Chain A
Amino acid sequence: MFKKIITPFEVMKAPHNMALIAFWLVAVIGFWYLSTTGQKHLLPSPQSVLTGLGEEYQEGLVPHIMSSLSLCAQATFWALLVSLPLAYLSTLPLFRPVIQGISKFRYLPLTGITFYLATSPLISSGRAMQVGVLVIFMSVYFVTSLLSVIADIPEEEFDHARSLKMNRWEVLWHVIIRGRIDYAIEILRQNLAIVWMMLVTVESIVMSAGGLGTIIKNADRYANHGRIFAAQLVILLIGILLDYLLSELRYSFPYVNRTQK
């Protein structure tokens, strides 16, 4: 048994895997308790985190969560609206240079854009500025990943569509757009992690619009570790939930195998 769990690529039975997960959960929580017992704490104690969570709840944690989710949804919506057509248009020679150029913008620093948008007379509200920053970043990563999905499609798939007398637009539709929609969702899922993290940062820059970032920033101000920790945990759990929902959405396509990466 012990030998098995330290053998590379060894496949375990489901109950054994559950036991391993339980073991690690207990270990992490145990470590947390232990690390908060001494004089100098590495982490805030579970009690202080719970208290922090309670206080945050009283101060409107749920509306803040809703505000963050709505910001995330708006940014995702606009980013998809921008990047999907851009990626699909990258198959046209006319647009290829521009779109490949856009993908390079992921090396642009966040702060500069945020600063620019915050001072731009075109952007009226704090919320609009937050959406703007996130859309720019999401689109840039999204386009990059989509370009690589398109580049990875085997030539045979294009040949198959062409051999069925499809014109180029139909090939684009069947092979790239419909044929890779589940990949687009997977990319969204992977990039959401970056966006979710960035969202908190953006929210803590413009605090007026509320959101989870505001909560962290507030807790930070009073150096209340329990509250910071509680807010972090909430953000983490919501992030994991979003991740789970998107992966379920992807598997809801009947032709996607669960084992497939």
Chain B
Amino acid sequence: MKHEYKLGGTVLLVDNVSVTIGDKPIIENVTMEEHDVIRDGHNQGQMIAVVGRSGRGKSTLFKAITGLRKPTKGRILIPSDEANKPIEVKEGDVGFVDQKYTLFRHLTLYNQLKLAAQKGSTPESEIHGRVMELLSKWGLEKAKDQYPGHCSGGQRQRAAILSQILSSGYFLVLDEPFSGLDVGNVEDVKSMLRLVNASHELSTIIFSTHDIELAVELADKIYVIGFPSEDKQIGTIVSAFDLKTLGLAWQSYGKEHIDLVHDIKKKILAS
């Protein structure tokens, strides 16, 4: 059964973006436009996957989307507080969790989240309560006084995601959130992302992964980033798959998903 949905305003516009580091062009003419997905009876956020072979520029694109690296060309727009007045993204507007789940090494998990909350919109008097609530909801209550160096990878990852949610809200970019996790942890992260996604209508999650099955299972839009041809080794979007129009979004994984995985892998290998 195909789910009904409507598209609302633009939540992200990556407009013809190129990034050059030093004098080496890394990505070129990347364009992505994402809309608010509206479904009756659902708090429906957006879940976007970016796939592609190693070194094609996924992390570079993510740093641009999160405002950590200014594009050499083009612009990246996100909605502002005022309707119909998009703004250029700047660092801190969009949450970013890197592949190593970096945290401050000198702060306990509780203090990390407290510091992050002070940078966000939570009123000072509610910070303690909010941090404690999230810690227990995400299974970090026991580890709250531990330092990152003494936490497991999964605990660090959850703390890193929570820090970003507390400071930036519900627009999150995650670079390879599934790499190096065991089967159980992968399930945990999946449900965490779904939890974040369903918590807010405008919630938008962009993640990269090398696990195409997982991308097809979770995302409602998938971008393939790759080199356009043999002699042009600069990353760009080589295909995009909208699982909503294909009728594959928000469905349980089936035969058609498997076919799509196959198609995507072909595109990746060719780029």
Chain A residues in contact with chain B, CB under 8 A?
Answer: 154, 156-157, 159-166, 174-175, 178-179, 181, 253-257, 260
Q: Is B39 located at the chain interface by the 8 A CB criterion?
A: no
Question: CB-defined interface of B148-183 with A at 8 Å, one 1/0 digit per residue?
Answer: 111000000000100110011000000000000000
9 sampled A-B residue pairs with Cβ under 8 A = A160-B160, A163-B94, A163-B96, A163-B167, A164-B115, A165-B92, A166-B119, A174-B104, A254-B147
Contact B105 A159 (CB under 8 A): no
With A159-B98, A160-B98, A163-B96 as contacts: A255 and B147 at CB distance below 8 Å: yes
Q: Within 8 Å CB of A165, what residues of B?
A: 91-92, 119-120, 167-168
Residue among A163, A166, A255 with max Cβ neighbours from chain B (10 Å): A163
Tell me the complex Cα distance, A260–B163, Å: 26
Q: A162-B91, A163-B168, A166-B119 are in contact. Are A257 and B100 (CB under 8 A)?
A: no
Tell me the bound Cα distance from A156 to B168 in angstroms.
17
Q: Tell me the bound Cα distance from A174 to B115 in angstroms.
A: 11
List, in ascending order, chain A residues with CB within 8 A of B98's CB: 156, 159-160
List 4 additional contacts besides A159-B96, A165-B168, A255-B105; criterion CB under 8 Å: A154-B102, A164-B116, A165-B91, A178-B106
A160 contacts B92, C-beta separation under 8 Å: no
C-alpha spacing A255/B168, complex, angstroms? 26
* A-B CB pair tally, cutoff 8 Å: 69
Residues of A within 8 A of B104 (CB): 157, 160-161, 174-175, 179
Contact of B95 among A157, A163, A175, A254 (CB under 8 A): A163
Supposing A163-B66, A164-B115, A164-B167 touch, asked if A157 and B102 sit within 8 A by C-beta, the answer is yes
Give the chain A neighbours of B149 by CB distance below 8 A. Answer: 255-257, 260
Q: Contact: B106 with A162, CB < 8 Å?
A: no
B63→A159 contact, CB < 8 A:
yes
**CA separation between A240 and B116, bound complex, in Å?**
42
Chain B residues within 8 Å of A162, by CB: 68, 91-92
Q: Please, which residues of chain B bring their CB within 8 A of the CB of A260? A: 149
Give the complex CA separation of A179 and B164 in angstroms: 19
Bound Cα distance from A164 to B120, whole angstroms: 8
**Complex: A2 Cα to B223 Cα, angstroms:** 60
Name the A residues within 8 Å of B94 (CB-CB).
163
- Residues 49-87 of B at the A interface (beta carbon under 8 Å): 63, 66, 68
- B103 sits at the interface (CB 8 A): yes
Minimum distance in angstroms from A183 CB to a CB of chain B: 10
Query: What are the residues of chain A within 8 A of B167 when measuring CB–CB?
Result: 163-165
Determine how close the nearest CB of chain B comes to the CB of A252; give it in whole angstroms: 13
- Scan residues 201-216 of chain B and give those whose CB is less than 8 A from a CB of chain A: none
Residue of A nearest to B116 (CB): A164
Question: Which interface residue of B92, B94, B150 has the most chain A CB atoms within 10 A?
Answer: B92
For A163, what are the chain B residues with a Cβ–Cβ distance below 8 Å? Answer: 66, 68, 91-92, 94-96, 164, 167-168
